[in-house]
Structure 1
Amino acid sequence: MKWRKEDLEKYVQAKEYIDTILLPIIPFQLADDAESEKHAFQQEVMGIFGSEIEQELSGRVMLIPSYYYLKEGNKEVEVQRLNDWIAEAKDQPFQHIILLTFDATWKKYEKELDGNLLWLPGLHGADIRTKETQGIIRDQVKQLTEIIRSYWQ
């Protein structure tokens, strides 16, 4: 399920079965043109990952809106804000919170987060429309869905 009216109506009817949140966390910054382009590309790819994982695990997973943060911002503040988002989700009650990111710096803060952080190695400068890139994404989605399923056991 995705964060849209139609899916939320279904969610309300089937809350007891949907126990996992997918929360993409995306860096944002405009100071460096090359970095901005890289982050915009990663946002596009993360959108694909989120949608593919949500489809693969349909009926058990809710893909919520991405969390954006300033790349050079204070991570301790962002950890607290993320944990506030997570607390809101756990009140529903979602049992499993999966945070998806391409930003390896989040690994330093993983233990402070109230969810499971999955760091994805970034695809740099690839064309997301090529068969090769789509194949890489499919392979990574398979691996990620297996990791997520392991949290359910």
Structure 2
Amino acid sequence: MRWQKSDVDKYVSAKEYIDTLIIPLIDFQMDQDLENNAFQNEVLTILSNELEKELTGRIMLAPSYYYIKTFDKDQEIVRLNHWVENVKKQPFKHIFLLSFDPAWKKSEQALDASFVWIPKIQSGDIGSKEMQHTIREQVKQIGELIRSYW
């Protein structure tokens, strides 16, 4: 289920079965490498949507959490943990944060959710068979990881 009205309506009536939330973490910067940042955003959005399809019936895909990479990570951790605290009230038993940014890995212990670091896909054509295969493989691996928590 995604963060859209029709899916949220279904979630409300079936929330006892939907115990997992996925929050994509996306860094946003207008002053550095715009094309690469836009590409990474697009890939993580596709990957998150495919993961939601793979695990339909058990997960909710939250809106992406955007942050400025050069900001103080401690402040971002506090802000992100407020998000997590709020969604745990639904209740979501499992909350996963997905990111290409390895800097979050250093702060993983301070996060109130499970962090999943995904190696960046440097570049490519989103529509190519190779890219689709790469995303499919990552979805498969992350899906297996999430299932291990259930």
TM-score grouping bracket, smaller chain normalisation: over 0.9
Q: CA deviation at 1:106?
A: 0.4
TM-score, normalised by the number of residues in structure 1: 0.96
What's the counterpart of residue 18 of structure 2?
18
SS across alignment from 1:118: strand
5+ long unaligned stretches in structure 2: none
Structural mapping, 1:4-153, within 5 Å = 4-32=4-32, 34=33, 36-152=34-150
- Please tell me the residue identity of whatever aligns with 1:99: L
- Please tell me the residue identity of whatever aligns with 2:125: D
Task: Determine what percentage of the aligned residue pairs are the same residue.
Answer: 53
Q: Decide which structure has greater helix share.
A: 1
Q: CA deviation at 1:5?
A: 0.2
Q: CA deviation at 1:139?
A: 0.7
Any idea what the Cα deviations from partners look like across 1:76-121, whole Å, max 9, x if unmatched?
0000000000001101100100000000000000000000000000
Q: Root-mean-square deviation (CA), in Å?
A: 0.6
Counterparts of 2:137 and 2:31 in 1: how far apart (Å)? 33
5+ long unaligned stretches in structure 1: none
State the aligned residue count. 150
SS across alignment from 1:17: coil
Any idea what the Cα deviations from partners look like across 1:30-62, whole Å, max 9, x if unmatched?
112x2x221111110011111111011001000
Moved over 3 A (4+): none
